[in-house]
A and B are shown apart, each in its own frame.
Chain A
Amino acid sequence: MEPPKERVKFIQTDLVLPYHYYAGDYKALYLRALKDKKILGSKCSATGKVFVPPLMSSPDAHAPCEEIVELPDKGIVTTFCVVNVPVYGRDIELPYVVASVALDGADVSIYGLVQECKAEDVEMGTRVQAVWKPDGERQGDHTDIKYFKPTGEPKAPLESFIHRL
Chain B
Amino acid sequence: MKAPTSVEPMSQRMTVQFPYKRSTGEVTGRFLAGLKEQKKIWGRRIAGQGVVVPPNSYSEVDAKSGGEWVEVKDEGTITAVGIVAKPVADLHPSDASFAYVLVKLDGADTSLAHIVKDRLGELKVGARVKAVWAPDGERKGTIRDIACFQLVG
A→B interface (CB under 8 Å): 1-23, 25-29, 31-32, 42, 54, 66-69
**Contact bitstring B74-99, A, C-beta under 8 A = 1, else 0:** 00000000000000111100000000
Partner of A3, one of B11, B22, B34: B34
Q: Looking at the complex, which one of A14, A22, A25, A67 makes contact with B20 (CB distance below 8 Å)?
A: A14
7 sampled A-B residue pairs with Cβ under 8 A: A8-B142, A11-B141, A17-B16, A22-B9, A28-B10, A66-B3, A69-B1
CB contacts (< 8 Å) of B119 on chain A: these are none
Q: Assess whether B133 is interfacial by the CB under 8 Å rule.
A: no
Provide the bound-state CA to CA distance between A69 and B69, in Å: 70
Instruction: Pick from B37-45, B58-66, B106-114 the stretch touching chain A.
Output: B37-45
> A18 near B90 (CB under 8 angstroms)?
yes
Given A10-B21, A20-B13, A68-B1 in contact, is the A3-B38 Cβ separation under 8 Å? yes
Complex-state Cα separation, A42 to B1, whole angstroms: 10
Find chain A residues with CB under 8 A from B9 CB.
22-23, 28
Contacts A7-B32, A11-B24: A27 and B10 contacting too (C-beta < 8 A)?
Answer: yes
| A19-B16, A27-B10, A66-B3 known; A6+B33 contact, CB < 8 A | yes
